[in-house]
């Protein structure tokens, strides 16, 4: 199984926080993932509520088993929120700023922890979580993807980076994010259209037969740049980073039957016609029948009745 959820928010309540490139990001990631055989579900704007996102992610992870690959992409604002569950009074966490409020990474992690350890999970976040950047781009063709929600004291300590663990080797998922902790990710006008800067370059770079490390090396040739001073991050265990991008794990010598990927219409539902998978399985079955028939003919010649 290959399935993906792609979330993008351009239109936030009101107008001051609106972005321009997140819907394009969703369509670009979905198009790329479809080419890798994924079935994709798109969640846009007012559909991208906290509950809708968590429910979609929970269903995605719950169905993932040995050999499956699932992808969650998010394009929109990030934020920082005061920690209310920890011991430190002035600690804060990083969070997604979704259509109807904040979605902290603890809630996402709680779902990811339920995943089958043999499934492959990729999280892509084209947003930023730092409100302390001292130098930001002042361009009409670029807007930072950060919204201030809580007032964070200057003495506050970052308790949890988005989805990060104490060590990368403990991470079940692969995390691709748009910038470092001290930078902004930008909503940018590139090649005549709006995109997240990271997404625009990443979707043009990812190719079949690349490992995640190889992809990341290519991405770092594009970012950071003078136009977009953001440094994309690749986090996860070294074993996961050396896997081929968006590729299912299969048993040695075993064939695989894969369903064809499909795009949705932006209504929050995905579809796949399964033609590619059906054709592949039928061809494999016909080959097996042909081999068995030849063996039976040989046996009839060798063994007299």
Q: What are 75-104's pLDDT values in tens digits?
A: 999 988 887 666 444 577 788 999 999 998
For residues 236 and 123, membership in a common domain is answered with: yes
In which element (H, E) is residue 25 found? helix 22-35
pLDDT the model gives residue 143: 77
Say whether both 82 and 201 belong to one domain.
Answer: yes
Considering the domain architecture, whether residues 63 and 93 belong to the same structural domain is answered as yes
Give the model's pLDDT for residue 252. Answer: 36
Those residues whose C-beta lies under 8 Å from the C-beta of residue 169, and which sit 6 or more positions away, are 237, 238
Do 109 and 161 lie in one domain? The reply is yes
Amino acid 24: pLDDT: 98
What domain range is 66 assigned to? 2-273
Do 199 and 107 fall within a single domain? Answer: yes
Where does the pLDDT of residue 170 fall: very low under 50, low under 70, confident under 90, or very high at 90 and above?
confident
Q: 183 near 129, Cβ under 8 Å? A: no
293 and 175 assigned to the same domain: no
The two structure tokens encoding residue 42: 């798109």
pLDDT at 10 over 50: yes
Domain CATH number, residue 28 = 3.40.50.1460
Please state the domain count of the chain.
2
Extract the runs of DSSP E, i.e. beta strands, from 153-247: 157-160, 174-177, 186-190, 193-196, 233-235
pLDDT at residue 155, as a whole number: 58
Residues paired with residue 42 on neighbouring β-strands, in sequence order: 6
C-alpha to C-alpha distance for 72 and 1, rounded to whole angstroms: 14
Asked, as a colleague might, if the bond just before 242 is cis with ω within 30 of 0, I would say no
Q: What is the C-alpha to C-alpha distance for residues 127 and 73, in angstroms, rounded to an integer?
A: 10
| In a shared domain, residues 171 and 235 | yes
Mean pLDDT lowest for which of 222-236, 266-280, 282-296? 266-280
**Residues that are catalytic:** 77, 128
CA distances from 240 to 3, 10, 101, 126 (A): 18, 32, 32, 20
One domain, residues 210 and 300 = no
Whether residue 283 sits in one domain with residue 176:
no
Q: Which residues pair with 121 in a beta bridge?
A: 70
pTM of the model: 0.75
Of 112-121, 144-153, 267-276, which range is least confident?
Answer: 267-276
Measure the CA dihedral 191/192/197/200, to 10°: -60
Q: Mark whether 19 and 141 lie in a shared domain.
A: yes
Tell me the pLDDT tens digit for each residue of 48-66: 999 999 999 999 999 999 9
Regarding whether 279 and 215 lie in a shared domain, the answer is no
Same domain, 186 and 291: no
Cβ atoms of 69 and 246 within 8 Å: the answer is yes
């Amino acid at each position: 199984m290959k399935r993906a959820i792609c979330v993008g928010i351009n239109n936030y309540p009101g107008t001051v926080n609106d972005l321009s490139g997140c819907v394009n990001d969703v369509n670009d990631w979905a198009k790329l993932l479809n080419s890798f055989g994924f079935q994709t579900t798109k969640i846009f704007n007012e559909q991208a509520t906290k509950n809708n996102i968590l429910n979609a992610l929970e269903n995605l992870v719950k169905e993932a088993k040995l050999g499956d690959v699932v992808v969650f992409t998010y394009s929109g604002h990030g934020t920082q929120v005061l920690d209310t569950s920890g011991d430190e009074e002035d600690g804060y966490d990083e969070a997604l700023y979704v259509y109807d409020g904040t979605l902290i990474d603890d809630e996402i992690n709680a779902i990811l922890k339920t995943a089958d350890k043999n499934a492959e999970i990729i999280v892509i976040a084209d947003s930023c979580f730092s409100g302390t950047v001292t130098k930001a781009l002042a361009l009409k063709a670029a807007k930072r993807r950060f919204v201030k929600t809580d007032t964070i004291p200057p003495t506050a300590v970052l308790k949890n980076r988005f989805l990060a663990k104490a060590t990368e080797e403990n991470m079940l998922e692969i995390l691709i994010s748009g910038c470092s902790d001290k930078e902004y990710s930008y909503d940018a006008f590139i090649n005549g259209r709006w995109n997240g800067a990271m997404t625009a370059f990443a979707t043009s770079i990812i190719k079949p037969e690349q490992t995640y490390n190889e992809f990341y090396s290519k991405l770092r040739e594009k970012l950071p740049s003078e136009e977009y001073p953001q440094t994309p991050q690749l986090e996860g265990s070294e074993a996961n980073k050396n896997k081929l991008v968006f590729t299912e794990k299969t048993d040695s010598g075993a064939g695989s039957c894969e369903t064809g990927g499909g795009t949705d219409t932006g209504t929050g539902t995905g579809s796949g016609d399964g033609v590619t998978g059906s054709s592949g399985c039928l061809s494999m079955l016909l080959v097996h029948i042909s081999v068995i028939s030849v063996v039976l003919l040989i046996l009839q010649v060798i063994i007299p009745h």
